[in-house]
């Protein structure tokens, strides 16, 4: 039990505070490459393993998107989903200052501030999905409706066809 306590992240603390049920999966990772690499290493299906992407709109506002790891964010659909003319990915060097997380450990809950968040519509197709746990080497396995509630997120089609 003490070991699990050692890896509590902001995301996990937020879920605990909201009394939202989730499971934690940990893995060893010397070098983070991308979510597909981690899913392959752990034998996890791509369609239930979501990556978190952070963008900035023309207005200067930040937006968070979660999509299956093997898909690509459609910038036009993403902008439309948040009412922006356009959005672009933030630079990797800015991830920590904007979110409080690092590349490979970014998750849509427990960021420094709450940003408008949108999940890809396929999130509703599965009883559980996997997202980063808030640090490299930790994942959260959670029911989609619980994650949507915790992130106060919208759900729509935001990936390239």
CATH number of the domain bearing residue 112: 3.90.960.10
Examine residue 55 and state whether it is found in any structural domain, yes or no: yes
Dist. CA 47–CA 102, nearest whole Å: 23
Dist. CA 97–CA 78, nearest whole Å: 22
Q: Is the pLDDT of residue 8 over 50?
A: yes
Examine residue 45 and state whether it is found in any structural domain, yes or no: yes
Dist. CA 20–CA 82, nearest whole Å: 26
Q: What is the mean pLDDT of residues 21-50?
A: 86
Taking the model in full, what pTM does it have?
Answer: 0.91
81 lies in which domain range? Answer: 2-156
Top-confidence residue, 23 or 36: 23
Q: Express each pLDDT in 70-129 by its tens digit.
A: 999 999 999 999 999 999 999 989 999 999 998 888 999 999 899 999 999 999 999 999
Examine residue 74 and state whether it is found in any structural domain, yes or no: yes
Top-confidence residue, 34 or 72: 72
Number of domains making up the chain: 1
């Amino acid at each position: 039990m003490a070991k699990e306590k050692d890896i509590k992240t902001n995301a996990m603390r937020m879920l605990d505070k909201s009394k939202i049920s989730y499971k934690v999966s940990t893995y060893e990772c010397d070098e983070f490459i991308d979510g597909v690499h981690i899913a392959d290493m752990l034998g996890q299906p791509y369609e239930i393993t979501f990556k978190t992407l952070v963008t900035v709109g023309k207005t200067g506002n930040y937006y968070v998107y979660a999509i299956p790891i093997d898909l690509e964010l459609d910038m036009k659909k993403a902008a439309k989903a948040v009412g922006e003319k356009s959005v672009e990915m933030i630079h990797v060097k800015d991830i920590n200052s904007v979110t409080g997380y690092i590349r490979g450990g970014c998750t849509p809950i427990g960021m420094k501030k709450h940003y408008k968040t949108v999940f890809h519509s396929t999130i509703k197709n599965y009883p559980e999905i996997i997202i980063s746990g808030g640090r490299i080497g930790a994942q959260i396995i959670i029911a989609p409706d619980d994650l949507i509630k915790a992130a106060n997120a919208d759900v729509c089609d935001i990936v390239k066809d």
